[in-house]
Amino acid sequence: MNRRQIRLGFIMSAVCVLITLMLPLPLAGTPVAALMARPLTFLLTGVIVLLFGFAAGFRGLSAIVIGFIGAGIMAEMTLMLLRDPLIAGDAASGFWMVVIGVWLASWICVVALAGLKPRSSAFRKAIDLAIPLLFGAAVFYLWEVVVRGAGVPPALLPSPSAAAAKFMASLPMLGADFVQTFIRGVLIGYAIGCSAGLLVAILAHRFEFLGRGLLPLGNFFSALPLVGVAPIMVMWFGFDWPSKAAVVALVTFFPMLVNALAGLQAAGDIERDLMRSYGASYAQTLIKLYLPAALPFIFNALKINATLALIGAIVAEFFGTPTQGIGFRISTEAGRMALDMVWAEIALAAIAGMVFYGLVALAERAMTFWHPSMRA
C-alpha cells in the first residue's frame, strides 16, 4: 500500500467519525441520542478528526503513531458509550460506524507499520512484535464490542472482559485446576513419555534389528488416535492424576521415538569415522556425537509433544477426575452454561500451553545455537 492510499485511509476514518455525528446511537433512541448530543463524545470526535487529519498530513512513523492514538481514543469512546444501558445490547448504525472507523484506522496503521523499513535491528524486532500484538488487540476489541453492542447473550459468547473478570475473580480455583492438570498430569507424563521415547530410540539406534522393526511400528502408532486409550488408563490407574500422566506419556512416546531415531541417524559418516579413529566407545560417541546431532530433531519432538500433552491430559479428564482439573471444569461449567468460566479456563490452558511451548523453544535456542536454522 503506498502513501497516498494510507492518507486516503486516514481521511476515510475521519469521515466515518463525522458521519456518526448525524446517525442514531441506540436502536430505539430519539435523534437526541446521537453523538452530537453528548458533550464529552462531541469533544472527543473533534479531537479524533483532528488527529486523523494530522496522520494524513505526516509521513512515516509519526503518522502511524498519531493514527494509533486516534484509533485508541475512538475505541475508548465506543467502550464508554457501551456503559450506557441504552446503547449496550441494541446499538445502531452510529455506533457501528465508529467501530468501522476504529477497524479501518487500525488496519491502515498496521499496514503502514508493516511497510516500514527500519535500519536498526532492535527497532525491526519491536515492529515484528508489535504487528501481531496489535492485530490480536484489534480482534479482541471487535469481539468485545460486537458481543456487548449487539447484546449477544452471555450463554452464547461472553465478552473477553467478562471472561477476564471471571479469571481474576476465581484465581484460587484456576490455580488448583492448573496444578492438577498441568503440573501433575501434563508435566509428569511429558517427562516420562519423552524420556522413555528417547531411551527406546537410543536402544533402537544401538541395535539395528530393533530399529528396523520399531521405525515402521512407531510411524504407524504415531498416526493413531492414541488419546482413545484414555478410558483404559482411567480404568487402570484410577481417577487421579496418574491416569492422566499415563495418557500423556503414551501420546508423547511415539513422536519422540520416531523423531529421535531420525535424529540419531543424522550424524554424518565423516564424523562417525572420526569418532572411530579416536577409538571412542559407543557411550562416548553417543554423548559427543549422536545426541548433539539429534538435538534439533529431539527438540522438534518436544515441541510437538508440548501441544499433544495438554490435549491428552484434558481428554483423559473427560473420563473421570477427582473434582478438579481444567478438562473437568470445562465440561461441567459448559454443562451449566457458565461460559465465562469456561473461557477463563481456556485462557488458562492457552497461557500454560504457550508458556510451556515458549520455554521449550528457548531451551532449543540455547542448546542448538550451532544449527543453521538458529543462526539465520
Partner 1 sequence: MPVARTAWCTHPLVKRSAPVVTIVTVLIVVWYIGAVLMNLSLVRGGFEREEAPYTMMELLEGTMSAERPLLPAPHQVVGAFIESVFGYPPTAPRSLVYHAMVTLSATLLGFGLGALLGIVLALAIVHSRVLERSLMPWIICSQMVPILALAPIFIVVLGAIGLQGLLPKSIISAYLSFFPITIGMVKGFTSPDPMQMDLMRTWSATSRQVLSKLRWPSAVPYLFASLKVAITISLIGAIVAELPTGAEAGIGARLLAGSYYGQTIQIWSALVAAAVLASGLIAIVSYVERKVGRRMGART
Give the separation between CA 163 and CA 330, rounded to whole angstroms.
13
Give the separation between CA 147 and CA 164, rounded to whole angstroms.
14
Residue 57 contacts by C-beta under 8 Å, 6 or more apart in sequence? Answer: 63
Q: Which is nearer to partner 1, 89 or 320 (CB)?
A: 320
Residues 167-206 that bind partner 1 (CB under 8 A): none
Q: Which stretch binds partner 1 (CB under 8 A): 30-38, 62-70, 170-178, 338-346?
A: 338-346
Q: Which is nearer to partner 1, 153 or 175 (CB)?
A: 153
Q: Which is nearer to partner 1, 149 or 211 (CB)?
A: 211
323 near partner 1, judged by CB under 8 A: no
Q: Which stretch binds partner 1 (CB under 8 A): 26-34, 72-80, 193-201, 222-230?
A: 222-230
Q: Which is nearer to partner 1, 4 or 117 (CB)?
A: 117
Q: Which is nearer to partner 1, 189 or 327 (CB)?
A: 327
15, 191, 346, 360: residue in contact with partner 1 (rule CB under 8 A): 346
Using the structure block, give the residue that is written with the C-alpha cell 481474576: 168
327, 341, 344, 364: residue in contact with partner 1 (rule CB under 8 A): 327
Using the structure block, give the residue that is written with the C-alpha cell 480482534: 139
Residue 26: strand pairing partners? 91
Task: Retrieve residue 201's grid coordinates.
Answer: 530410540
Q: Give φ, ψ of 205 to 5 degrees.
A: -75, -35
Q: How many CA atoms lie within 13 A of 262 on its CB side?
A: 14
Residues 121-140 that bind partner 1 (CB under 8 A): 128, 131-132, 134-136, 139
Using the structure block, give the residue that is written with the C-alpha cell 549422536: 290
161, 191, 318, 371: residue in contact with partner 1 (rule CB under 8 A): 318
What is the tally of helices (H) and strands (E) in the chain? Answer: 17, 0
Neighbours of 1 (CB within 10 A): 12
DSSP 41-61: HHHHHHHHHHHHHHHHHS-HH
Neighbours of 273 (CB within 10 A): 10
Q: Please state the closest distance from residue 108 (CB atom) to partner 1, in A.
A: 11
Give the separation between CA 111 and CA 113, rounded to whole angstroms.
5
339 near partner 1, judged by CB under 8 A: yes
Q: Please state the closest distance from residue 200 (CB atom) to partner 1, in A.
A: 11
DSSP 187-217: IHHHHHHHHHHHHHHHHHHHSHHHHHHHHHH
Q: Which is nearer to partner 1, 35 or 315 (CB)?
A: 315
Q: Please state the closest distance from residue 301 (CB atom) to partner 1, in A.
A: 14
239 close to 321: Cβ distance less than 8 angstroms: yes
Q: Which is nearer to partner 1, 42 or 236 (CB)?
A: 236
Q: Which stretch binds partner 1 (CB under 8 A): 2-10, 45-53, 164-172, 340-348?
A: 340-348
Q: Which is nearer to partner 1, 198 or 326 (CB)?
A: 326
Residues forming contacts to partner 1 in the complex (CB under 8 A) are 110-111, 114-115, 128, 131-132, 134-136, 139, 155-157, 209-214, 216-217, 220, 223-225, 227-232, 234-236, 307, 310-311, 314-315, 318-320, 326-327, 330-331, 334-335, 337, 339, 342-343, 345-346, 349-350, 353-354, 357
